């Protein structure tokens, strides 16, 4: 299970960045935050909850739908798909963020986890959970 979770996280961590650069605004900020959460979870993949993995899979599925819609001429369908993607990204960020915070707040931490948690905290205004 550990290896498959790590593989999923490794594949999905790059996806929000590409989408964020295209979308800009709130989606870009949310995607960067999700990337930091995933960087934390990659240090201990077994700590990612099934809900986090499911949310990431759903987000990936929606990203594929948006990509497919971008090749079509129906602008309304594309806007709906982008709205769903934004919602899926928000869900994944909230769910995986809880896992990442739990991991960062845990006791024994590897040097990679310490670095990922520091990067996560450095990217948050005020360094508090309410700032996410």
Domain boundaries of the chain, sorted by first residue: 2-125
Based on its alpha-carbon atoms, the radius of gyration of the chain, rounded to whole angstroms, reads 15
Q: Name the pTM for this structure.
A: 0.72
Q: Does residue 52 have a pLDDT over 60? A: yes
- The predicted-structure confidence for 64-90, as pLDDT tens digits, reads as follows 888 887 777 666 777 888 888 889 999
- The predicted-structure confidence for 103-124, as pLDDT tens digits, reads as follows 999 877 889 999 999 998 887 5
Res 44: pLDDT: 87
Res 9: pLDDT: 59
Q: Does residue 13 have a pLDDT over 70? A: no
Q: Does residue 102 have a pLDDT over 90? A: yes
């Amino acid at each position: 299970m550990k290896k498959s979770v790590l593989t999923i996280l490794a594949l999905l961590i790059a996806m929000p960045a590409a989408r964020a650069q295209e979308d800009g605004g709130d989606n870009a900020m949310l995607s960067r935050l999700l990337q930091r959460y995933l960087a934390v979870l990659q240090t201990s993949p077994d700590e990612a909850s099934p809900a986090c993995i499911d949310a990431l899979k759903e987000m990936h599925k929606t990203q594929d739908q948006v990509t497919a819609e971008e090749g079509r001429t129906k602008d309304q369908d594309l806007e709906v798909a982008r709205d769903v993607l934004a919602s899926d990204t928000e869900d994944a960020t909230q769910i995986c963020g809880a896992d990442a915070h739990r991991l960062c707040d845990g006791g024994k931490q590897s040097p990679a986890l310490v670095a990922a948690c520091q990067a996560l905290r450095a990217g948050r205004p005020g360094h508090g959970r309410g700032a996410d």
